[in-house]
Amino acid sequence: MTLLRVDNLKKYFKKIKAVDGISFEVKKGEIFGLLGPNGAGKSTTISMISTLFKPTSGDIFFKGRSIFENPIEIRKNLGIVPQEIALYPTLSGYENLRFWGNAYGLRGKKLKIRIEEVSEIIGIKDRLKDKVEKYSGGMKRRINIGAALLHKPELLIMDEPTVGIDPQSRKHILDTVLSLNKKGMTVIYTSHYMEEVEYLCNRISIMDKGKIIATGTKDELINIVNGQKVINLKFDKISKELIRKIKDINYISQIEVLDDEIILTTVNENTIFKDIIDKVSETDSNILSIDVKKTNLESVFLHLTGKALRD
Amino acid sequence: MRISDIVRKDLKIILNDKKALATLIIMPIILTTILGLAFSSSFIGSSGNKSRYNIVIVKKYDANEDLKRFREIITDGTIGEKLSIKQKNMILNQVQKLDVEEVFFKQFLGSNELKKFIKYRIEDENTAFKLLKDEKVTAVVILPENFIYDLNISLYTSFRNEVNIKVLGNSKYAFSTQIISEVMNGFADMLSTIIIGKSIFIQTAMEEDVGAKVFEDIDKFIGNMIEDMGKIKANINYLRVEGKEPISSFQYYAVGMAVMFILFASGYGSKALLKEKNNVTYQRMIIAGVSRFKIVVGNFFTIFFLALLQMLIMISYSSIILKVEWGSLLLVVIISLCAIFSVASLGTMIAVMTLKAGNYKIANVFQNIIIQFMALVGGSFVPYDLLPEFIQKLNFLSINGMALKSYLKVMMGYPVDEIKGHLFSLMISGIIFLIFAIFILVLKKEEGCVDV
């Protein structure tokens, strides 16, 4: 069953096409990933789904009804975890949760019980009395999520929820998302961290420059690359001559040059290493490391856009 | 979500903000105490300070010599030539009975009204100047040469001799010196009234052809005038109004600071909405289904209750610690509510404008320029009447000015009729600010925002 349908959605800010005609569907009970680099248009899309922005054109349907004609329906069923820590730092964790519970119409005993449940889910029960400003980055992120869960939303949107936190908190958040999904919650998860989206999402849309360049399950997306390998070469220095020589090698479909790295996409893994070593030896650069990457969404993104996801 | 939830959250944030508390609550208390103490000598009604102004009077005249000269000119001089012996005796008797020096020292300076706050002593000129230089006295009043002679000429004959009473002050006590000057002007005004009355009396008598008989009644006339003088209360400065309680420095600055600092509450609130937006909590509330109108009303009540808290603390502190008497409790409550309503509306209007602008320029101009301007023209720092005339004319532009005048009138014991106009202005200005706020909110939505 389709819970949310985005139909040819556009959002232009004067001359900037932040979102440029995207369409996708989110099915009930799935974790849907929006993957793309910073500035791809993910947050603008989320803002429109959250009814914060009206689109320039196009529409979004929640349970078959336009959210712009009936914003109340989606708002009461939507939990939003913004990229920013949208909390009051000088209030305690408990006071923040109580305020956001009030915002969703929860009060009294019902609210108290939900605060207990949510604080259990996000794992900050022991620190609820402390001011949020005293929390670590990971704890702030967790309570940011907790504030979106109080009213038991049908659809949870998480916009880059793990930015700038330690690995332990990240793991906790990812496990929380999986646990919530298991209990039936539909999740839209946006990130520029490829491995998070791979780990969590049933289906993924890859966004770049306001457009969706591919949609499918992880396997479907990887199949796009069709046997290609991504090789990451690290050099002591990269000269124009080196780039020219590398480009001359056969069977290279993509080449991406970073500061001290060259990322190649190739279908011929067998002879490519000999060719690379031969070509590099003709220049004054030295190879520091060679890393053959398993085909993943990064490879897909590189294949589709000609640039790395982390740019 | 209830508006009270937003207000409770905002007030909690403010109460957790030590810097804001220091600015909004502690500062007015400190400033009231400091200014009240510093200017206590400049206000008539300052409590516990009877005979507050120590002044020195220098007599540059010789009373006996002046009287002798006056008698001579009445008896043998040019004036006396036109008078009969009976008339001369009448005048000389009257002068004997009515000693103008006594009028000045006993009936004027010694009156119940003046001796409450003026203590005088008589010294020679050099000693007086030394005392003034050493800041041991507030002012020196110099009664000029021929003081008695000139006064008697003006009072008892058809001539008028000029009498100039000089007041010298130390620059440190400029305000006090001004008050002493006003007191002396009050005395001069009273004399002028009598002298003018006498002139009209004589002139009318001459026109009615009563002739020299007029001098037979002039003693009664002047006697009555002097008696009336005792009923005239000195018009010292604007704070002292007949039949009303004088204002002390603590009273003045308790009001002045309270009404100024509630403007700072408004300044604090003026940034709140954009701050919420920058923290994304504003957007989060919108997504949660809280309407923008509710958020703005929440902002209004936050400023309202913050200002109310400030007023409560200021009134309690000044009443209990500084022993300030605020007057009728009911009127104080009414003025406070009107002023706070106006301030909250203004802060809300600025907050909405700031939110729409997307930067803090408007709020900063409000905090750093407009509030300071209101504080100045409203008389929060310097009493309104001491300000230059062109600044006084701008007083109507200040919420604090209107509130301050109302509170002072209540303190002085004026009836409610006297403050109706100010209360009306405060309410109307508040309503106008709110209408503007709603107008901006409704007509100029944020970029593409979906409203419910």
Residue A169 has pLDDT above 80, yes or no: yes
Count how many Cα atoms sit within 13 Å of the Cα of residue B374 in the half-sphere of its side chain: 26
When pLDDT is cut at 50, 70 and 90, the band that residue A14 belongs to is confident
Identify the DSSP state of A289.
E
Same domain, A40 and A179: yes
To which H or E segment does residue A19 belong?
Answer: strand A16-27
Identify the DSSP state of A131.
B
Domain end, chosen from A217, A242, A265, is at A217
Chain A hits for B4, CB-CB cut-off 8 Å, are none
A101–chain B nearest CA distance, Å: 9
Q: How far apart are CA B267 and CA B303, in angstroms?
A: 9
Q: What is the mean pLDDT of residues A263-269?
A: 77
Residue A309 lies in a domain: no
More confident residue, B317 or A259: B317
Would you give per-residue pLDDT tens digits along chain B (452 residues)? 889 999 999 999 998 888 888 888 888 888 888 887 877 666 655 544 444 678 899 999 998 898 888 888 888 777 777 777 777 777 787 777 778 888 888 878 887 777 777 888 999 999 998 888 887 888 889 999 988 888 888 877 777 788 888 888 766 566 677 778 877 877 777 777 777 666 666 666 666 655 556 556 666 666 666 555 544 333 333 333 334 566 788 888 899 999 999 999 999 999 999 999 999 999 999 999 898 899 999 999 999 999 999 999 999 999 998 888 888 899 999 999 999 999 999 999 999 999 998 899 999 999 899 998 998 888 888 877 677 777 777 878 889 989 998 998 888 888 888 889 999 999 999 999 999 999 998 876 654 444 43
Selected for mutation to probe chain A from B285, B449, B450 (highest A CB count within 10 Å) is B450
pLDDT of residue B207: 62
pLDDT of residue B157: 76
**Residue A247: what residue type?**
K
The contacts of residue B78 (CB under 8 Å, 6+ apart) are none
For residues B234-261, one letter each, b for 16 or more C-beta atoms within 10 angstroms of the residue's C-beta and e for the rest, the string is: bebbebbbeeebbbbbbbbbbbbbbbbb
Residue A111 lies in a domain: yes
Q: What SS3 class is residue A11?
A: strand
Same domain, A207 and A232: no
Residue A177 lies in a domain: yes
Chain B hits for A80, CB-CB cut-off 8 Å, are 284, 287
Same domain, A132 and A16: yes
Same domain, A63 and A192: yes
The answer to whether residue B291 neighbours chain A at the CB level (below 8 Å) is no
- Outline where A1-61 has alpha helix (H): 42-49
Residue A299 lies in a domain: no
Residues A184/A29, Cβ–Cβ less than 8 Å = yes
pLDDT of residue B188: 77
Same domain, A175 and A256: no
The answer to whether residue B445 neighbours chain A at the CB level (below 8 Å) is no
Please tell me the total count of domains within chain A.
Answer: 2
B446–chain A nearest CA distance, Å: 9
Same domain, A134 and A268: no
pLDDT of residue B363: 93
**Residue B143: what residue type?**
L
Same domain, A274 and A178: no
pLDDT of residue B206: 60
Same domain, A202 and A82: yes
Residues A199/A297, Cβ–Cβ less than 8 Å = no
When pLDDT is cut at 50, 70 and 90, the band that residue A10 belongs to is very high
The answer to whether residue B448 neighbours chain A at the CB level (below 8 Å) is yes
pLDDT of residue B203: 64
Residue A30 lies in a domain: yes
The contacts of residue A179 (CB under 8 Å, 6+ apart) are A121
Given the structure tokens 């399950």, which residue do they identify?
Answer: A217
Domain, as residue range, for A258: 228-294
* pTM greater than 0.90 (yes/no): no
Long-range CB contacts for residues A165-169, cutoff 8 Å, separation at least 24: A165/A137, A165/A138, A165/A141, A166/A136, A166/A137, A166/A138, A168/A138, A169/A136, A169/A137, A169/A138, A169/A139, A169/A141, A169/A142
The answer to whether residue B9 neighbours chain A at the CB level (below 8 Å) is yes
We report the CATH number of the domain holding residue A274 as 3.30.70.980
Same domain, A83 and A108: yes
Structural domains of chain B in order of their starting residue, each with its CATH number = 3-43+245-443 (no CATH), 53-229 (3.40.1710)
Chain B hits for A78, CB-CB cut-off 8 Å, are 287
- Gap between the terminal Cα atoms of chain B: 14
Q: Which of A115-129, A254-268, B275-289, B423-437 has the lowest mean pLDDT?
A: A254-268
The A-side interface with B (CB below 8 A) comprises: 11, 13, 47, 50-55, 68, 71-72, 75-76, 78, 80, 82, 84, 86-88, 90-91, 95, 99-100, 102-105, 131, 147
Residue A308 lies in a domain: no
Domain end, chosen from A217, A240, A262, is at A217
pLDDT of residue B413: 81
pLDDT of residue B237: 35
Task: Tell me the ipTM for this assembly.
Answer: 0.82
Domain end, chosen from A160, A189, A217, is at A217
Q: Which of A139-148, A240-249, A268-277, B199-208 has the lowest mean pLDDT?
A: B199-208
A43–chain B nearest CA distance, Å: 13
pLDDT of residue B297: 94
The contacts of residue A20 (CB under 8 Å, 6+ apart) are A10, A41, A209, A210, A211
Pairing relationship of beta strands A155-159 and A186-191 according to DSSP bridges: parallel
pLDDT of residue B230: 45
The torsion angles phi and psi of B57, rounded to 5 degrees, stand at: -110, 130
Q: Which of A20-29, A205-214, A246-255, B225-234 has the lowest mean pLDDT?
A: B225-234
Judged on CB neighbours under 10 Å (0-12, 13-18, 19+), B190 is buried
pLDDT of residue B104: 84
pLDDT of residue B160: 76
Same domain, A169 and A254: no
Number of residues that make up chain A? 311
Residue A305 lies in a domain: no
Residue A290, token pair as written in the block = 């060679």
pLDDT of residue B245: 61
We report the CATH number of the domain holding residue A57 as 3.40.50.300
Count how many Cα atoms sit within 13 Å of the Cα of residue B246 in the half-sphere of its side chain: 22
Q: How far apart are CA B434 and CA A233, in angstroms?
A: 65
Residues B78/B12, Cβ–Cβ less than 8 Å = no
Residue A303 lies in a domain: no
Q: How far is CA B354 from CA A203, B303, B330, B386, B442, in A?
A: 42, 15, 36, 35, 14
